[in-house]
Structure formats: C-alpha cells, structure tokens
Amino acid sequence: MGDSEAQLPLAQLAVSIDNGAMANVSIPPPGASSGDELGWTLDRHILERQRRVQGATGDFTGLFQSIALAARVIASKVQKAGLADVLGATGATNVQGETVQKLDVLANRILIRCVEAGGHVCVMASEENDEIIPIPAGYPHGKYVLMFDPLDGSSNIDVNISIGTIFSIHRRRTASGPGTVEDCLQRGTEQVAAGYVIYGSSTMLVYTTGDGVHGFTLDPLVGEFFLSHENLQIPATSPTYSINEGNRSRWTPGVARWVDTLKSNDAPGGKPYGLRYVGTLVADFHRTLLRGGVFAYPGDKKAPEGKLRLLYEAAPMAFIAEAAGGAATNGAGTRILDIEPGQLHQRVPLFIGSRDEVRFAEETIAKG
Ligand code: FDP
C-alpha cells in the first residue's frame, strides 16, 4: 500500500490518481457483495483496500497479515495455557516494575518473530522491552513502526479471565535505515492503524485505520479471522462505568465526586449506573465499544499519571474509540490522541468510551 492508502474510507475508497488529486470510487461494503457462506476474511478485507489503491505496495497488508498470524499463534497458546507450562510468573519484573508472566514473554516473542523479517517495519516497541526493538541484521527496514502490548491483563492470565493484545501502527519519521526512538514517539493522531485482539469466549481482532472500526472473529477450526462486526459504533450514552474502586482513597476529589454521582440518582438518566470491571483493559474496552459506557483509569495521589501506557494502550484504544464515534481524554480536558509522547513507557490517565459519558466525566471532575 502507498503512504496514504491505509487511511482511506472503505465504502467510498479514494483512489490516488497520477496528478495527485483523489477520485472517489464507490465500492460495495464488505459482506454485502460476498454473496456466499464464506464471508469476508480479515485478509480479504485488507486486500480489498489495497487492490483499489493505485501504487499500493502491499506493505500495510503484509504487516497486518504478520500481526494476524501472531494473534492466531498467541490465541492457540492462551487456549492451552493450563496444559503447556506457560502459566505463572517468570520471576522477573519489567521496566514498569511489574511482575512478568511467562505468557507475557511468549506473546512478546511471537509478535516480534512474526513481524521482524517481513520488511514492513523499521523498528518496534513493546511494553515488555525497556528499549526499542531493532530489526535483526540482514532484514530490510520498512516504512512502518509497530508498537504493542503483547499480553494485556497479565494479572488475569492465571485465573482464566479474558486477556488481549493491543497494537498501534505509525509511518516512520526518519528517512531510511534502522528506525529510532523518534519514529516511536509520535502523537496518536499520526496512527495509520490500531487494533486489539481479545482472547475471550471467542478470539476477536478489532481494528481501525481511522475511518470505521471492524471486528473479526477467529474460527479456530479454519484458523482464520472472519468479519463478524462491521462498522462498530459506540452508543453515545450508556449507564455503565468501569473503574477500579479499590483505589478510591487515592482519587482526587473530582474523580470521587464523579463516581459518587454515577452511583446516585443524580446520575444522567436519574438513576444509578451499573459497574463492570474486568481488570483487563482490552476486555473492559471491548465491552464499552459494543455496549457503551465509560472506562477510566485516572491519575491519583500515588500515581498522578495513572497506570496505563500512552503508546501501547491509551493511544491505540483512543484511535479506535474515536473512529467508532466515542471519545478518549485524560480527564482534564486533553484528548489522548493529541498528547505528544516524551518517553516510550509514558503513562497517562485515561477516560474512554461513549462520547456523552466521557464529557460528563470531564465536566464533573472539573468542578473539583
Ligand atoms: P494488568 O496490570 O493486569 O496487565 O495495563 C495493565 C492492566 O492490566 C490493564 O489491562 C488493566 O485495565 C489495568 O492494568 C488493571 O489495573 P488494576 O489491577 O490496578 O485495576
């Protein structure tokens, strides 16, 4: 794919023409024209975009295929986790000082191995690695940058609760050769694509290139992702909130007031909201994407920047949320996608979900 093709709308694909102008060409939405029981595979969904773009190189498609392969391999490891010796901790801690689980390490290795040789990326960064991950000697450097949280929700691995993988794709900033940290430190608005895989009651891959959010469910017998949720939209409102209330004693007065309001008859809608909290961002976000509501991991007295990582968690989820009609802020008036990262493992407070719910959080917290 060419540099801009990854961001083109699917149903009204804009095709580059020689003089640099863009002509809009209508194509049938995926699924509508497939006319058979096979449905649309993830590969085909991505390929259809590539085929309609003049000058497409196939790089974005190739990168996506590598990510999808990694997702299938990780899904198969997760399913057998209790049988293979991959449950439990490694005994090490990561750059954030958190316990590293065996499955974290395995998933990280799988993603790196699946992507590093493809020639599509110039550098990678992972929540599990202190520094950027270079492309091994002898392999070409591509034009994209891949950042990921290989296994989100580590504390839920051993208790068989949904976990996930989050990824974010940017174009490189440097001109050529090995990518650098500068290629990774880009604002969320610069993302070419973002997505996540949820290893839940089924395995799903959800992605956006910024112009619609599409969900694919893995058929484990076929070993392929099929389009199951097209053009997902987050409901504008929904009376559900998702936050770790165990941290309440450390919250700011504004955050405490907001949650108290949601639990009272003063909540929007005049009755208390329901609480849902899995403790895996991917799972809490996935529910919020499908059902609406708001997920928050605020900053508090102990951790003013909260817990979640900007580049591997907040920014990709914010890209998806906005593409689905939702919103994502830091709870203090700043859009997550506008935050300029200063470090690879930077944390950020996150308020994400239904547009009106995020706005209500912002307004209530601002009153202090
Ligand atoms: P985990 O520590 O289990 O990996 O990113 C880390 C994360 O999970 C998120 O997936 C999740 O939303 C959050 O932390 C849960 O944190 P708490 O246990 O503090 O609620």
pLDDT digits (tens, 9 = 90+) for 206-260: 999 998 999 999 999 999 999 999 999 999 999 999 999 999 999 999 999 999 9
Q: How far does the centroid of ligand 1 lie from the alpha carbon of residue 323, in Å?
A: 24
Do residues 124 and 117 touch, judged by C-beta distance below 8 A?
no
Alpha-carbon distance of 130 to 144, in angstroms, equals 20
At 52, the pLDDT band (50, 70, 90 cuts) reads confident
Tokens of 29: 């939405």
Given the CA of residue 313, which atom of ligand 1 is nearest to it?
5
Residue 232 CB neighbour total at 10 angstroms: 19
More confident call, 55 vs 195: 195
Q: How far does the centroid of ligand 1 lie from the alpha carbon of residue 9, in Å?
A: 33
- The angle formed by the CA atoms of residues 29, 35 and 38, to the nearest 5 degrees, is 100
Do residues 159 and 283 touch, judged by C-beta distance below 8 A?
no
Which residue has the least CA distance to atom 1 on ligand 1? 153
Query: pLDDT for 146-163, tens place per residue?
Result: 999 999 998 898 899 999
At 107, the pLDDT band (50, 70, 90 cuts) reads very high
Q: Is the CB of 244 under 6 A from ligand 1?
A: yes
Query: pLDDT for 251-301, tens place per residue?
Result: 999 999 999 999 999 999 999 999 999 999 999 999 999 999 999 999 999
Alpha-carbon distance of 7 to 144, in angstroms, equals 14
Residue 131 CB neighbour total at 10 angstroms: 10
Alpha-carbon distance of 346 to 23, in angstroms, equals 40
CA dist 260 → 114, 248, 366 (Å)? 46, 11, 15
**Coil, helix or strand at residue 362:** helix
Given the CA of residue 155, which atom of ligand 1 is nearest to it?
3
What one-letter code names the amino acid at 60? F
pLDDT of residue 19: 27
Above 90 in pLDDT, residue 48? no
Above 70 in pLDDT, residue 345? yes
E-assigned strands of 190-333?
Answer: 191-199, 203-208, 213-219, 224-229, 240-242, 274-275, 294-297, 327-329
What one-letter code names the amino acid at 310? L
Q: How far does the centroid of ligand 1 lie from the alpha carbon of residue 100, in Å?
A: 13
What is the chain's alpha carbon radius of gyration, rounded to the nearest angstrom? 20
Q: Is the CB of 307 under 6 A from ligand 1?
A: yes
Residues 6+ apart with CB under 8 A from 249: none
**Coil, helix or strand at residue 87:** coil
Residue with tokens 């290989």: 150
Which residue has the least CA distance to atom 16 on ligand 1? 279
Q: How far does the centroid of ligand 1 lie from the alpha carbon of residue 138, in Å?
A: 37
What one-letter code names the amino acid at 340? E
Alpha-carbon distance of 303 to 251, in angstroms, equals 10
Do residues 351 and 241 touch, judged by C-beta distance below 8 A?
no
- The angle formed by the CA atoms of residues 260, 264 and 267, to the nearest 5 degrees, is 90
Q: What is the dihedral of CA 326, 331, 333, 339, to 10 degrees?
A: -80
Q: Is the CB of 49 under 6 A from ligand 1?
A: no
Q: How far does the centroid of ligand 1 lie from the alpha carbon of residue 153, in Å?
A: 5
Q: How far does the centroid of ligand 1 lie from the alpha carbon of residue 45, in Å?
A: 32
Do residues 355 and 233 touch, judged by C-beta distance below 8 A?
no
Residue 59 CB neighbour total at 10 angstroms: 21
pLDDT of residue 37: 64
At 186, the pLDDT band (50, 70, 90 cuts) reads very high
Among the listed ranges 27-31, 96-100, 151-155, 342-346, which one has the minimum average pLDDT value?
A: 27-31
**Coil, helix or strand at residue 172:** coil
